[in-house]
Amino acid sequence: MSSDRLPVFITGAGRNVGAHIARRLLADGVPVIAHYRTPTDEVDALSTAGAVVIRGSLDDEASIRTVADAVMAHSPRLSGLIHNASRFEPTPNDTRSAAADFADYWAIHMLAPYLLTTLLTPALAPAGDRASDVVMITDIYADDPTPKHDVYCATKAGLQNLALSFAKRLGPGIKVNVIQPGPISFTNWHKPDDQQRILADTLLGRAGNPEAIYQAVRALMDNDYITGAILPVDGGRRLGR
Ligand SMILES: NC(=O)c1ccc[n+]([C@@H]2O[C@H](COP(=O)([O-])OP(=O)(O)OC[C@H]3O[C@@H](n4cnc5c(N)ncnc54)[C@H](OP(=O)(O)O)[C@@H]3O)[C@@H](O)[C@H]2O)c1
């Protein structure tokens, strides 16, 4: 990993994949600045383990700028930035709710990564000859959308496109890569039939876990000749059967 003694900042670290990545980075000796919105036991545990924790929403420009300022106040130098925070639900059928959701998805999946990456670029200036890292977590659905989740998918596709612009803009000092998770965990609205259908379509025949995403983060950060890459971590789900 580049600049190991400088912190990595990760968004949405209050639970699930984000909390796991933060925990594993700390265990590997990498300082962590962990963003969260809702307090959880996992946030308390990260703080106890030595992470700097920053609470905030990423709903609009003002709140995103507040989070960026808080990161800079804690550490004007970073070795990495991981855009993990996300929302995932089916698009509502009524257009008023769908329009409101669209604004939320756009803010969390596109505006926040755009502004945070831009505002924190000075902090990511490389230390020595190793590039720093930005990792955007999207979804295999960014390439092959499900119409039921079209707004989620479209904004994740937008994030993926932004990542490629940032890779072009920020090289050679900063590498920018994308991780596309597949079925890592199921939500409480995934019915057992849906889960079985998804796993039957997944070449490895099982769900993944947050550790698979952490291993992909490490692989990208540890490799000094990968930028602008899009890495599926999906057990082969994108190919189906
Ligand atoms: N898990 C999977 O199977 C899977 C599959 C494909 C892609 N992914 C991607 O992998 C990443 C991690 O997934 P996950 O399942 O761990 O996600 P998750 O459990 O839904 O957690 C998302 C995190 O983002 C935060 N967040 C959401 N909206 C926010 C906002 N407006 N402002 C601030 N924070 C906000 C949430 O905070 P709150 O707790 O306050 O809501 C939560 O901590 C995401 O980018 C996701 O899209 C996951």
Eight-class DSSP state of 187? -
Query: For residue 177, is pLDDT > 50?
Result: yes
Give the pLDDT score at 189: 82
pLDDT tens-digit series, residues 192-229: 998 999 999 999 999 999 999 999 999 999 999 999 99
What does CATH list as the number for 8-239? 3.40.50.720
Give the pLDDT score at 188: 83
* CB-based contact 199:30 (threshold 8 Å): no
pLDDT tens-digit series, residues 103-135: 999 999 999 999 999 999 999 999 788 999 999
Identity at 130, one-letter amino acid code: R
Q: What is the Cα 233 distance to its own chain's centre?
A: 13
Q: Is 181 in the pocket of ligand 1 (CB under 6 A)?
A: yes
pLDDT tens-digit series, residues 24-72: 999 999 999 999 999 999 999 999 999 999 999 999 999 999 999 999 9
pLDDT tens-digit series, residues 75-91: 999 999 999 999 999 99
Ligand 1 center from residue 137 Cα (angstroms): 10
Ligand 1 center from residue 186 Cα (angstroms): 12
Candidate of 10, 15, 58, 136 to mutate for ligand 1, largest count of ligand atoms within 8 Å of Cβ: 15
Ligand 1 center from residue 129 Cα (angstroms): 33
Considering only CA atoms, which of 4, 91, 78 is closest in space to residue 35? 78
Eight-class DSSP state of 59? S
- Give the Cβ contact number of residue 41 at 10 Å: 10
Candidate of 65, 86, 116 to mutate for ligand 1, largest count of ligand atoms within 8 Å of Cβ: 86
Considering only CA atoms, which of 110, 236, 90 is closest in space to residue 161? 110
Which residue in this structure is represented by tokens 């925070």?
85
Enumerate the domain spans of the chain.
8-239
